[in-house]
Structures are given as C-alpha cells and as structure tokens.
Amino acid sequence: MTENDPHAQDSAAGRQNPGAQPGTEGQAAWSQSPGAQPASGEQASFGEPTPYQAPAEPTYHAPTSGDAVYGAPSPWSPQGAQSGPPAQPGQPQVPTGQTQAQPGQPQTGQTQAQYNPYPPTGGTAQPTNPYVASGAQPPNTSIYSAAPAQPKKSGAGKLLASVAAIALVIGGVAGGTVGYLTGGSSGPTVNALDQPKPAQQTGNAPAGSIESVAQKLSPSVVELQVSGRTASGEGSGFILSTDGYILTNNHVVEVAANGGQIQAVFQDGKKATAQVVGRDPTTDIAVVKVSGVNGLTPVELGRSDDLKVGQPVVAIGSPFELAGTVTSGIVSSLHRPVQAGGDETDQTTVMDAVQTDAAINPGNSGGPLANMSGQVIGINSAIYSPQSGQGGQGGSSQGGNVGIGFAIPIDQARRTADDIIKTGHATQTYIGAKVQDAQNGGAQLGDITPGSPAEKAGLKSGDVVTKIEDRAIDSANTLIAAIRTRAPDEKVTFTLSDGRTVPVTLGGQPVPSN
C-alpha cells in the first residue's frame, strides 16, 4: 500500500467479564423435638424437682393427656383461662377462673426472680407475698430478698420457661414496632410538595466546568441533515466564521457532494441550506457554507500538539438526531492511527487520532471535541465498533458507544480547512513512496516515485523507517498518520532500522475532492 492510499485498522481487544454467579443463602428453620422425660428410676415430685435434661429444641404444642400439668392446665395454653381441676390434698384451693401456680414458676405478670415459693431441697418455704394477689408491687415494699438460683425443671416446667422467654422476645419486638408506628406521627407533618422552590440559579457557570464549556460552545454547533441520490443521513459540524463557514467530516457530506442537499439546523432551531466548499477524503475533512445567514457565533480553536493523556474533554453533537447533546470524558490516548471515513472507492483515511472515552455515537461525526476552556481541539470522527472489530465510520456505523472514540487533531483539520476555504481544495502532505509493515516492526518503503521527496532525500526501496523525529514508527499506518499530521515543506528526520538518520523535506499535492 502507499502512503497516498492508506488502509489501516485500529483494533481493540474486547474483554469478557464472567457473569457473577448467584450466591447461595442459608435458611433458618425451627425444628421440634419431644420434651425431656424424667430419667429412668426417677419420678417428678411436687417439692423435689428433677434435674433439668436439655432437649435439642423446645417443643410447643397443646397439652395432652400425657403432659404433666400438676393439677392445672398451662397458663400459656388456650386452656389456661379455664377453671382448674379439684384441689389435691395439702394444696390450696384455686377459685374458679384462676390457674394454679406451678412449682418453681412465677404467677402471671411475674418473673422467676421475683417469685419462687419453693426453695431448694431442704430449704424453708418463704412467707406469702401480700402484694401478689392484687398484681401490684409498690417500690421498696418487698419483704423478700433476692431468691437464690433454682435448678432447671424438665417437662412442663421447662416448657413453660421456654415459652415465656419467647413471649418476652416477641413482646419486645412488638413493643418496638408499636413505638415506631406511633412515635413517627407525634410531630407535625412535613411534605416536600409544600416547600417553596429554591432561588433560581442566576450566576454564571464556574470556569473550567462542563457546564461552562457547554454554554460557550453549544451556540456554535449545528446539525447537518444530508440527502443524495442514493442515501441520506445526518451528522454534526461547527461554525468557523460569522458569514457561515462550517467545518465537518467528509463522510458526513459526501453523499450530497454531487447534486445532493445539505440543511444546517442551528441551536435556536433556525435552518439554512448549505453547499460543499471543498473536501478531503484522505483526511476525512470537509467545509460547507450556509447561505442567507449572518452574525453567527464561531468557535474558538485550540491546539492539539500539547494534549495530555487524562485531561478532561467535552464532546457536543447530534447523536441519533438528538441535537445539542453534551458528553464528557478524558483524552484516553494520543497518536492513534485509525482508518475512518474517506472515499470508499479508492481512498481511505488514516488519521493520527485523539482517542477519548467521551460518549460518541453515530451522528456525532463532525462535531467538536473541546478542552475545558471551551476551545476545539479535535473533530469527532469515528468510534470503535465491536460489530466490525475496527474503528468504524461515525456517521454510518450502526455500532454504539463503547467508550472508545476518535477525533481528528485540530492542528491537522485547521490547516486543511484553511486550504479549502482559500483555494477550494485540500493539500495533502506526502513523501512519494509505497509503504508496508516491516517484518520486525517499523514501516518498510517500497517503490519510490521519481522526483518525490523520498527520492530527493536519498531513501531507497527496502529501507525500514523506525522513527520520525522522536516518535516511534511501528507500522505502515503509523508512518502515514505521522506524515499527514505535518505540513508540506516541513523538514523532519527519519531514523532507519540500520541506525542511519535521513533528513526529509515533506511535499504537498492537491487532493481531488470528487
């Protein structure tokens, strides 16, 4: 291939991120086991408790004929409100409607630490609490000292203690819930809908912010609606002069270059017809001019030779016909050789692209990429599309943004646009030699055009270029991109693979626009 007829690809390897596997979650379940039975050879007695045998889990069920009840149903069971059976000899009679107090267990409303009429074996029964009957316990009137810890009961005694503990836990949760539900309504009701609107923003956007860039640049960005004999589409552009010159991509307007129509839509919604002034398929740059308008707001052009990887940038354009869309990101790489746009019949574009992660989609082509001072530093031209596996044409590719976009450096675009406006055609920088990838890296020269800058510099077919000035050359596309970013008649130094250095004066030639 020749550096006059480049064909380059910029591929990016996709990454695969394995899908996260759903985590497994443990489930807690209540298990039930039979209640503990008295040990063999032992019998539960009324005054001598059997040592506690801990079951695997407490059992909660209605009492049956096999359950020990000590003369009365469990107060925790549904039958607890019924009258008890006849009193046994030696036990006090319980009036109808009351339950018999269980050995070692508190009466209703008391904890075990408060009431324990049955001391350990060999102890002396405590006198009756005169306040128990009424359920009241005035402060500092208890006639009891703290009861000693009692051996744990098995059977129904253990069951009642377990159920009581769960009842306390549930009661605590319920009490907390009630407090939450009632406590939230104790104060006055506040409704955001009743609040007044805040003061309207009247100050200017902070300097260096995305907002300030959008305010400065948006009035100078236009949407270009294009139609031709065989196709139609839309893209973006930005105003160069008050009398209507607009800079855009060649691939945005080329379908209308021969008898088609171009309509420019401005930020305020006004429309104007535009005509192609000139275009350069090899650099994917074109200039159009609108008629019948004046007093337009031109952009401020920056420079691209001092860009830094990581610096913030803002892109503005009309992705998917959404005019005036603003996105932001950073410069993610520099000097990226990318094929994009151009005349698909016999020429392609290899540009020395500025790579950015600012969202760029079909329709952004031709729009500005700006620094945080609102100065244009590139023309958004291409995106990486996983569908094609290479940098696709921003205006015709159907791929969407994947965080890899490419812009033509404004230094190159500025020089080309100036040539088009002044002469009606672009001037292409060249050396006059075919190039191809070298086997061990670099760009190998092929046929040398007689009288070309390459021949005048003494370059020969077979020479391998590894560096231009301080820039490493690792492929033929890199050599083409590096040459096209420079102006005709510029002097540069080529470093060859054998260590020789060769000074070369770059040439320039008109580029046909049709």
Q: What are 502's strand-pairing partners?
A: 494
Beta partners for residue 370, in sequence order: 314, 376
In this structure, the number of other CB atoms found within 10 A of the CB of residue 386 comes to 13
Burial 84-106 (b: 16+ CB within 10 A, else e): beeeeeeeeebeeeebbbbbbbb
d(CA 337, CA 437): 13
Which among 102, 126, 106 has a CA at the least distance from the CA of 44?
102
Q: Please, which residues have CB within 8 angstroms of residue 159's CB and are 6 or more apart in sequence? A: 35, 58, 59, 60, 74
β-pairing, 375-385 with 312-317? unpaired
Distance, CA of 162 to CA of 156 (rounded, Å): 10
How far apart are alpha carbons 130 and 122 in whole angstroms? 24
Q: How far apart are CA 350 and CA 108, in angstroms?
A: 91
470 is catalytic: no
C-alpha 341, offset from chain centre: 31
**Whole-angstrom Cα distance, residue 69 to residue 60?**
15
- Give the helix ranges, DSSP H, for 305-383: none
Residue 188, amino acid: P
Distance CA 157, CA 257 (A): 99
Catalytically annotated residue among 251, 280, 343, 513:
251
Active site residue 333: no
Out of 10, 284, 343, 463, the active site residue is 284
SS3 letters across 39-82? CCCCCCCCCCCCCCCCCCCCCCCCCCCCCCCCCCCCCCCHHHHC
- Contact residues for 323 (Cβ-Cβ < 8 A; gap 6+): 223, 265, 267
Q: Which residue among 220, 236, 365, 381 is the active-site one?
A: 365
Q: Tell me how far apart the alpha carbons of residues 173 and 243 are, in angstroms, rounded to a whole number.
A: 77
| DSSP per residue, 380-420 | EEEEEETTTTEEEETTT------S-EEEEEHHHHHHHHHHH
Among candidate residues 102, 112, 110, 107, the one with its CA nearest the CA of residue 150: 112
Is 365 catalytic? The answer is yes
Measure the CA–CA gap between 238 and 481, rounded to whole angstroms. 24
* Alpha-carbon span 361 to 320, nearest angstrom: 7
Report, as residue numbers or ranges, the catalytic residues: 251, 284, 365
